[in-house]
Structure 1
Amino acid sequence: MRQERAERTRQLLVEAAAASFDTAGYTMTGLGDVTKLSGMSKGALYFHFGSKEQLAEAVLAASREGLREIVGEARRSGDSTVQYLIDLCHALARRVDEDVVFRAGLRLTGDPGLDRAICPSPQGSWVKMVRLLLNRAAGRHQVRVDVPVEVTATLLAAAMTGVEVLARQDRQWLGREVVTRLWQAVLPTLVPPEELRRLHPAGPKTEPEAIPTDAPDAPGAEPESLFPGLPAKGRRYEPTALFLEPDGAGPSF
């Protein structure tokens, strides 16, 4: 019971730190902001984290875990590699919109106040993954023979990165319609006509169930989360290196 409460306290601190990093950035966030937002004491914070940098590392680790989940879930796209890439883009946009910890992790990777060795940018891995997927699709004749795969992969990766950056000022950029229109514009020049007919630029036919944010708690239970869209149960996140490798049955890290 005591361990569960400690894990829950740690998760609440990570969520509060993420919310502050997301709105104010790393440099302008103080530990007092985290304790105030989480409702925890400074003693509780220092029991779990010795510094603001350690808090940032925990947020980054949680964000990477979310990325692993997205990569795994998007693999249910059947035998079309292009559809997998479409679904992955939709899942990324949706997760950025709904999950403050995931969103804050992405913001931290570009924050000048943090050492790049602690929070390397995921953009290189994202470009690599798009390139690998398009090359695989080309090998399966799912891409037009006249398409320059390397250039197209770079442009697609840049487009989705741009959507995330623009959404920091206007969250409507993360809407399903934006990503759908992007793919509606790209697909006719990317895939053969017979492939085009079986693709869904709007992403999965059935959207995943939204995580309920107003479900009543069990008697005597603590609130499940400070923020909507976050995992219901606290978990201990350990920093790990991010490496996206779309080979085999699941992602490799």
Structure 2
Amino acid sequence: MARQERAERTRELVVRAAAARFDTTGFAATSLSDIVETAKVSKGALYFHFESKEKLAEAVATQSGAGWRDVLRAARAPGGPVLQALIDMTHDVAQRIHHDVVFRAGLRLCDERWPGEDRFPSPYPSWKRALTLLLARSERRGELLPGLDVRQTARMLTATTAGIETLSRKDRGWLTTPVVAAAWETLLPALVPAERVAAFRPCGRVPLVPRQPTAPDRELRAGGHHRARPATLG
């Protein structure tokens, strides 16, 4: 069991190291040697888990996609106004982009292309469908302005999310709670009746706690300060 746990931790360490490199330099400019150096593992340990850089990128994209599905599942949970759940969901996405390098790298990989292949589909079409469904449910509950075009609103919110995410690649300040809340303070009067605006919390219902570093994250950070002995296969 100890060997299996060590192997799983090594694999996660390699995935997060790859994500860190993809996030900063992109897929094409990242080599397996770069990832080995960042993870502080042996090449044998990397190849034990991944046969190529492409397989590593697939692992990053898959894990990032799982994070998006977690966000959408949380939004389906009952409790309170539907539009407030949507607001909370946008804060959740911003926090994940800000603090989770794998989630963030998965988004960058969506922009990477190879001749004749579109390997990593963007999550934004699914995001737009989820926003459309939530807004339609909010409309049925009478939360929105009469006659509001739900589909167009979902398109606008998707564009806002994608725009903030793109801007955050140069400046993480775009992902902070005050910035996301300010966007909602601007949007809410255009979405709900004036007498209902005060019923919603642009900053989200529950203050989000940044994701705590995992053991692989701590090892990656430590590796930046000293040369650790490379991990072996297991």
Indicate the TM-score class for this superposition, using the shorter chain for normalisation. Answer: 0.7 to 0.9
Aligned to 2:133: 132
Larger RCO, structure (CA 8 Å, separation 6 or more) = 2
**How does 1:114-125 map onto structure 2 within 5 Å?**
117-125=118-126
Checking the alignment, whether the CA contact within 8 Å between 1:77 and 1:83 is kept in structure 2 is no
Aligned residue pairs total 221
Checking the alignment, whether the CA contact within 8 Å between 2:32 and 2:53 is kept in structure 1 is yes
Aligned to 2:207: 207
Q: Please report how far the alpha carbon of residue 70 of structure 1 lies from its aligned counterpart in structure 2 after TM superposition.
A: 2.4
- Runs (5+) with no aligned partner, structure 2: 223-234
Aligned to 1:143: 144
1:48 and 1:149 mapped to 2: Cα distance?
45
Which structure carries more helix by proportion? 2
2:35 and 2:181 mapped to 1: Cα distance?
37
**How does 1:160-199 map onto structure 2 within 5 Å?**
160-199=161-200
> Tell me, what secondary structure is at the counterpart of 1:135?
helix
Aligned to 1:48: 49
> Tell me, what secondary structure is at the counterpart of 1:197?
helix
Q: 1:115 to 1:50 in 2, by over 3 A?
A: farther
Q: Please report how far the alpha carbon of residue 203 of structure 1 lies from its aligned counterpart in structure 2 after TM superposition.
A: 0.9
- Give the structure-2-normalised TM-score: 0.87
Q: 1:70 to 1:130 in 2, by over 3 A?
A: same
Q: 1:15 to 1:114 in 2, by over 3 A?
A: farther
Aligned to 2:110: 109
Q: 1:53 to 1:115 in 2, by over 3 A?
A: farther
Aligned to 2:26: 25
- Runs (5+) with no aligned partner, structure 1: 229-253
Aligned to 2:86: 85
> Tell me, what secondary structure is at the counterpart of 1:58?
helix
When structure 1 is superposed on structure 2, of 98-107 and 120-129 the one drifting more is: 120-129
Checking the alignment, whether the CA contact within 8 Å between 1:13 and 1:35 is kept in structure 2 is yes
Q: 1:161 to 1:34 in 2, by over 3 A?
A: same
Aligned to 1:156: 157
Q: 1:227 to 1:89 in 2, by over 3 A?
A: farther
> Which residue of 220, 226, 229 corresponds with 1:226?
220
2:116 and 2:100 mapped to 1: Cα distance?
24
Identity %: 44
In the alignment, residue 17 of structure 2 is paired with which amino acid? A
Checking the alignment, whether the CA contact within 8 Å between 2:95 and 2:210 is kept in structure 1 is no
In the alignment, residue 140 of structure 1 is paired with which amino acid? R
Checking the alignment, whether the CA contact within 8 Å between 1:26 and 1:114 is kept in structure 2 is no
Checking the alignment, whether the CA contact within 8 Å between 1:19 and 1:100 is kept in structure 2 is yes
Q: 1:19 to 1:72 in 2, by over 3 A?
A: same
Q: 1:211 to 1:114 in 2, by over 3 A?
A: farther
Q: Please report how far the alpha carbon of residue 195 of structure 1 lies from its aligned counterpart in structure 2 after TM superposition.
A: 3.0
When structure 1 is superposed on structure 2, of 192-201 and 154-163 the one drifting more is: 192-201
Q: Please report how far the alpha carbon of residue 212 of structure 1 lies from its aligned counterpart in structure 2 after TM superposition.
A: 4.1
- Give the structure-1-normalised TM-score: 0.81
1:114 and 1:208 mapped to 2: Cα distance?
40
When structure 1 is superposed on structure 2, of 135-144 and 49-58 the one drifting more is: 135-144
Please tell me the root mean square deviation across aligned C-alpha atoms, in Å.
2.2
| Cα-to-partner distance string for 1:95-152 (whole Å, 9 max, x where unaligned) | 1000101100111011124875431111111111111111111111111113222111
2:65 and 2:182 mapped to 1: Cα distance?
27
Q: Please report how far the alpha carbon of residue 45 of structure 1 lies from its aligned counterpart in structure 2 after TM superposition.
A: 0.6
